[in-house]
Structure 1
Amino acid sequence: QAAAFIKLFTGSIIPLHASLPGLTWISSSLMFSNNSQIRYVWPHKWNFGKILYMWIRYYSITLLIFDVTQIHLFSRPGITSDTSDALSNCVAMDSIIRVVSAILLWLIEIVMQLHIYTLYNRSWKVAMINFFLFMGSIAGFTWILVHNALRRHAIIAAAIHLPLPGCPSIHSGIEWAQWVPATAFEGVLVCWALYKTMSTLLIQWHNGSKVSLYSLILCYNLFYFSGIACLIVFNNLMVIGITKIPWFSYSPFHAAMEIITSHMIINLYKAHQETWQWHLSLLDNGLINSLDSALE
């Protein structure tokens, strides 16, 4: 029993200390990228892409603040004491954390779907395939969430009386499958990006043409897609226990996904602006040369 208590206590104390670095990380990212955001994102007109960017960026910060607040609030003595209210609070908060985390992931996956839609020349067929798979992943997530929530009360009831700094961190049942639908859908998106990138690069290599800006963007997109997929897979492996790394809360994952996504979008805005300025400079030079020729 002592070993079990130590394991539960460690599982509760680690998220308490790991949540703050996540908030610090995302706050630092916002501070250091603020100039780029003002320069490349804000001048653009409001559209769906810009709304998604702003939503992801500031929702993520709000989510990290919520993570830190609820973890530290529930660690206070008396919040998770041996009462029926404590059990209900822990069960409810466990589901809430997963839902608000899923919202961030779904927003990011919408951005990724828009990328795939653009890469495949605005193919509605590709878009509809991804849309139905996306809705299927949401349905799978919801079913697993409800299934686990209905059984969570009985799972943590035996440990709620222990003097733990927070709710008991116990993974059981099919909780390991909570993020499997999202991971599977993420794998599909990575395959779309990988196929498009490899086919484009092979065609350019076969034709002996130079690497274009479009190819660089494809490679960057593939790096972004793979980064998000690796984060989700690592999250799943931690829940299952394969990594032998103690669970350190969702905060670092939230911060990492937001930072990768926001920087990717900023770089796309930057590439668009610099390309547009390059075209304008070519146009200006052409007009100047035409005027010089006319004056001569």
Structure 2
Amino acid sequence: MVFSLEEIERFTQLYSGNIIPLRVVLCSLTWVLYDYFETLEDEVRYIWSQKRCVGKISYLFMRYYTILLLVFDVVQIHSFAIPGITSDAVCLAMDPTIRILGAISLWSIEVIMQLRVYALFDCSKKVAVFNGVMFIASIIAFLALLIYNAQGRAALIASAVRLPLPGCPAINGGIGWALWLPASIYETILFGFVVYKSSRSLTLKVRLGERWSLGAIMVGDNMLYFLGITVLLAFNNVMAAGAAKIIPWFSYGPFHAAMGIMTTRMLMHVRKLAAQTDAFAELSGDEVPGEHGEFDGTLPRFVDPAPLSVTCGEV
């Protein structure tokens, strides 16, 4: 097979681009596994001991789906790098599959975000309905963009498929950059709810001995967590836009890992705080301080874990 000078130059560029995901995805899986073993003791103590509730199910799903998703990323990227494995049809089918699997993780996170906003706004049905409608709209928009992008994918990679690349061509173009835009807009809306609530809840930062109130921690956690997810999506949009000179394509592995770790650590933090606050209140005979008309430091029933026995030395 004879290649033109232009094809050789293009091959060199694409080959370098395909090597990056091979290395980065292994780092992403290593990061997730390291985080898993580092926090496994807390998971056994605080999560496994819980009665079944939405909070526990959310944590376990995000925890283990993230690991499985990263294992899939590693197997898919490295197996496709073996000569003779990929083909035009395989590459075209795998592209939307990868995005759907990543979207399931993101949608799960957005459901958790909705529940946190719902809790912060005193279980307001209006807030829940509004966020639910916007959530469904973002999913519909994502699927519409995914279908449109898949229809033009064959023409986009046609000139590169015949090149001996390690895996499917790492080419992004067309309206691929807009694929995660609906989710980014929705995340911004949810973040706006948290900013609004935090501006109304500054007085919640009342110390409980040496500990902040549960309400103050939830508001602070939400600010950092929602901001982190929003920034990750913005970063992802820039990468998916094909702006290789700014951010090279390094697969969705790092985003899958980062979002999963951020979410599980946030859920673990709330669970640990709730358990320790319950134990403190039980030992002192006091209730968790709150303010009239504001979030009182307790969680709604669907996320409130069963009381956990904690010894005095652990409070």
TM-score (norm 1): 0.89
User: For 1:50, which of 48, 53, 56 is the aligned residue?
Assistant: 56
Given the alignment of the two structures, is residue 20 of structure 1 paired with residue 22 of structure 2, yes or no? no
Name the aligned partner's letter for residue 219 of structure 2.
L
Shift of 1:219: 1.0
Name the aligned partner's letter for residue 16 of structure 1.
L
User: For 1:8, which of 14, 17, 26 is the aligned residue?
Assistant: 14
Match of 1:289 in 2: none
Superposition map of 1:31-42 within 5 A: 31-42=37-48
SS at match of 1:157: helix
Instruction: Assess, with a 3 A threshold, how the Cα gap between structure 1 residues 192 and 171 changes in structure 2: closer, same or farther.
Output: same
Match of 1:246 in 2: 248
Assess if the C-alpha contact under 8 Å between 1:237 and 1:243 holds in 2. Answer: no
Match of 2:150 in 1: 149
Match of 1:268 in 2: 270
Assess if the C-alpha contact under 8 Å between 1:176 and 1:236 holds in 2. Answer: yes
Shift of 1:204: 5.9
TM-score (norm 2): 0.84
Assess if the C-alpha contact under 8 Å between 1:113 and 1:127 holds in 2. Answer: yes
Given the alignment of the two structures, is residue 76 of structure 1 paired with residue 82 of structure 2, yes or no? yes
Assess if the C-alpha contact under 8 Å between 2:204 and 2:215 holds in 1. Answer: no
Shift of 1:216: 2.7
Match of 1:61 in 2: 67
Superposition map of 1:1-296 within 5 A: 1=6, 2-80=8-86, 86-201=87-202, 212-240=213-241, 241=243, 244-283=246-285
Structure with greater helix percent: 1
Which structure: larger Rg? Answer: 1
Instruction: Assess, with a 3 A threshold, how the Cα gap between structure 1 residues 162 and 275 changes in structure 2: closer, same or farther.
Output: same
How many Å separate the matches in 1 of 2:267 and 2:204?
Answer: 26
Compare 120-129 and 212-221 and name the one that shifted more.
Answer: 212-221
How many Å separate the matches in 2 of 1:188 and 1:260?
Answer: 19
Assess if the C-alpha contact under 8 Å between 2:22 and 2:78 holds in 1. Answer: yes
Shift of 1:212: 4.0
- Count of residues in Structure 1 that have an aligned counterpart in Structure 2: 275
Assess if the C-alpha contact under 8 Å between 1:60 and 1:254 holds in 2. Answer: yes
Name the aligned partner's letter for residue 40 of structure 1.
Y
Assess if the C-alpha contact under 8 Å between 1:14 and 1:248 holds in 2. Answer: yes
Shift of 1:242: 7.3
Name the aligned partner's letter for residue 15 of structure 2.
F
How many Å separate the matches in 2 of 1:273 and 1:244?
Answer: 44
Query: Percent identical across equivalent pairs?
Result: 44
Shift of 1:169: 1.2
CA RMSD of aligned residues (A): 1.6
How many Å separate the matches in 2 of 1:250 and 1:238?
Answer: 10
How many Å separate the matches in 2 of 1:220 and 1:55?
Answer: 20
SS at match of 1:33: helix
Name the aligned partner's letter for residue 244 of structure 1.
I
How many Å separate the matches in 2 of 1:268 and 1:242?
Answer: 38
Match of 2:299 in 1: none
Instruction: Assess, with a 3 A threshold, how the Cα gap between structure 1 residues 204 and 99 changes in structure 2: closer, same or farther.
Output: closer
Instruction: Assess, with a 3 A threshold, how the Cα gap between structure 1 residues 118 and 135 changes in structure 2: closer, same or farther.
Output: same
How many Å separate the matches in 2 of 1:230 and 1:142?
Answer: 22
Shift of 1:41: 1.2
Assess if the C-alpha contact under 8 Å between 2:214 and 2:277 holds in 1. Answer: no
